[in-house]
Amino acid sequence: MWYTKYSTSGHRDDSTADPSSNKGTFMALLQYAIRSGDTVLEKHFKESGRNAIYTSKTIQNQLIEILGDYFRDNIISEIKEAKFYSVLCDEVRDISNKEQVSIVLRFVDSKDCIREEFLDFVTTERVTGEALAAKIKETLLKYGLDFQDCRGQGYDGASNMAAQRGVQGLLLAENSKATYIHCSSHVLNLCIVQACSLQPIRNMNGAQNLLISLKIVQEGKCFLNV
């Protein structure tokens, strides 16, 4: 899973050529494992045919999908065991200008621990309250979750989410126990934005974000050069 997590950084080559060249983070991890003494993996690269190495970007994406489905199935199983859950949702436009709705479920597991687990990204053509409410119900149904077991909703304060004709109002009309609570993280973000109206503080935040970005880039370069 550690390999696959980092493989999302670079699916640049769909070939199964010699892994000695740098073709992304996934291949760099495999090379590192070989240098660290993984003789089974080393033998696989040396003796397998070019069509049986299974390191192409297509295979990497398939591995990610398989693992994603596996973990999602386990999460859904736990939610069904808990029975009751809350829905957390937000939408954003991605780099291709498609509206993506992220759906997270909050529940109490068998160990009495409060959990928030990502369920799915859903593409939507419209961002009206009616459209988003329909997408949420459609997604819950897709994964076999009964909306009548929903006991809470958490969104930002946008009118399409928080208004009576927004998502929360429409879903509340179908399930009176799905209480809406304004997302506390969004409230905190609004407070921070308001508190950071002074230019020196805004400059400091910008410099901090730049340093974090540079640190991530530098760590990535160091990792690929291992």
At residue 154, the 3 state secondary structure works out as strand
Name the residue among 60, 43, 56, 42 with its Cα closest to residue 13: 56
C-beta separation of 188 from 195 below 8 A: no
Say yes or no to pLDDT of 57 above 80. yes
Q: What is the DSSP letter of 62?
A: H
Mean pLDDT of 131-160: 92
Task: Say which range, 17-26, 31-40, 162-171, has the weakest mean pLDDT.
Answer: 17-26
The residue type of 149 is: D
Q: Could you give the count of Cα atoms lying within 13 Å of 119 in the half-sphere of its Cβ?
A: 31
At 14 the pLDDT is: 55
Mean pLDDT of 78-95: 90
C-alpha–C-alpha distance, residues 202 and 219, integer Å: 26
- 225: confidence class by pLDDT, cuts 50, 70, 90: low
pTM, two decimal places: 0.68
Residue 115 forms beta bridges with which residues? 107
C-alpha–C-alpha distance, residues 69 and 183, integer Å: 27
Residue 116 forms beta bridges with which residues? 106
Task: Say which range, 14-28, 65-79, 99-113, 137-151, has the weakest mean pLDDT.
Answer: 14-28
At 115 the pLDDT is: 94
